Amino acid sequence: MKLLYTRENRHLVYNIKNIVENAGIEIMLKNEFAAGGAGDLAPLETWLELWVIDDSDYDKAAQILDTSFNIDNAVDWICSQCHESNNGSFEFCWNCQQSAPE
Ligand SMILES: [Zn+2]
């Protein structure tokens, strides 16, 4: 099992989970219910983690992540309508579907 992605913004992790899952890759979430205990844990330990169950699927999953999100290049943007943070490759706000700024 390999860690594919982790991020403080849980909605982004869920978003990626859906995309990777739709490609037929078996994945699991860790820390899905850990946020409530954030007071006792270091922040990193409560980040939602997305794991690829079968190591041989990892490269494929990483590639999907890469092409879908351009995580390394994209700059996050703040929605002008609801002020949520969005991954730079999102064309619409995950929360309210407002278009990304040009
Ligand atoms: Zn929004």
Say which CATH number the domain at 20 has. Answer: 3.30.70
Residues 55 and 86 in one domain: no
| pTM: predicted TM-score of the whole model, two decimal places | 0.59
Residues 65 and 81 in one domain: no
Q: How far is the CA of 11 from the centre of ligand 1 (A)?
A: 12
Helices 58-69 and 10-22 cross at an angle (nearest 10°) of 120
- Domain count for the chain, please give it: 2
Q: How far is the CA of 71 from the centre of ligand 1 (A)?
A: 19
Q: How far is the CA of 65 from the centre of ligand 1 (A)?
A: 22
Residues 13 and 38 in one domain: yes
3-state SS class at 19: helix
Domain span at residue 63 reads 2-69
Residues 87 and 102 in one domain: yes
Are the beta carbons of 13 and 29 closer than 8 angstroms?
A: yes
Are the beta carbons of 100 and 82 closer than 8 angstroms?
A: no
Q: How far is the CA of 96 from the centre of ligand 1 (A)?
A: 4
pLDDT in tens, 39-80: 555 555 688 999 999 999 999 999 988 877 655 556 789 999
Residues 63 and 79 in one domain: no
